[in-house]
Amino acid sequence: MQHAPGPDFVIAQNWLLAQLAVVIKRLKDTPEGPGSMLDNCLVFLGSEMGDGEVHLGHPVPMLLAGKAGGQLKTGRTFNANGNNRANLALNIGNLMGAPLSNWGDPA
């Protein structure tokens, strides 16, 4: 299904992302151990909107912030090249110590 959202949707998304930026900055600015709270956590944001304006199944933007206690490198981009996006959720679960073998519909 493909359809373009109205201007209210775009305004709402911009507001939500601005709020997320505030949360991430606060995590980064809050000391915890030898680093910050952001160093010790993982923030995930996903969207079902392929390009931010049109409802497409892929490609979809996803954002990870934080180092998950040093388990992730930051400052990178990644192209999943059409791989199932459930794999990201599976990997996050495994990263957090959940022994998952699948997530959602593997097809």
Which pLDDT tens digit goes with each residue over 59-93? Answer: 677 899 999 999 999 999 888 777 777 888 888 99
pTM beyond 0.75: yes
* Domain parsing of the chain, residue ranges: 7-76
User: In sequence order, which ranges of 1-107 are alpha helices (DSSP H)?
Assistant: 7-29, 86-95
Q: What is the pLDDT of residue 3?
A: 60
Number of neighbours of residue 88 by Cβ within 10 angstroms:
17
In DSSP terms, 46 is beta-bridged to 62
Q: How far apart are CA 10 and CA 81, in angstroms?
A: 26
Residue 65 tokens read as 């912030």
